Amino acid sequence: MEPYSDLPAMTLAVVGFIVFIGIVTQVYVGFQEKAFIAEHYQDAANLARKLSRDSSILGSSDIIDASKIEGLDSKEFVKKYGIYYNFILKVEAKSESRTYFRIIKDPDITESKSGVSASLPVTIKINDVEELPGVLTVKLWRK
């Protein structure tokens, strides 16, 4: 028998094992992300409901006031509700003539690419005479 004749077979076995471990790792990471989404969607929906009723962004009669959102200290607002998760709040409204879009987040925290989102339909008061139908979206992810 020649010396080192088992070396190519051993190399193939090691490469195959490394590829197998890589595939198993990717599947596990994907499973963890999907499990987080499934487990925490209700948390995101509850946070969206709670934020839509927060007095610091509401005007009269449960309508979100754009001027209050513009004057909001986003870092303090996120700190108030971001005890268990990091999150961002997005408020947007569109009509044929106007678009309103605002993201409230902590500037010190980078947004994660994975997480779970929940949205609610809301009414946004743009000014004293204009109210638009819009969407309030909350995205949360692990701290």
Annotate 43-100 with three-state secondary structure: HHHHHHHHHHCCCCCECCCCCEEHHHHHCCCHHHHHHHHCCCEEEEEEEEEECCCCEE
pLDDT band at 1 (very low <50, low <70, confident <90, very high): low
Q: For residue 115, name the pLDDT band (cuts at 50, 70, 90).
A: confident
Say whether pLDDT at 50 is over 80: yes
pTM over 0.85: no
Average pLDDT value for the chain = 89
- pLDDT > 80? residue 2: no
pLDDT digits (tens, 9 = 90+) for 82-95: 878 889 999 999 88
Reported as a pLDDT band with limits 50, 70 and 90, residue 23 is: very high
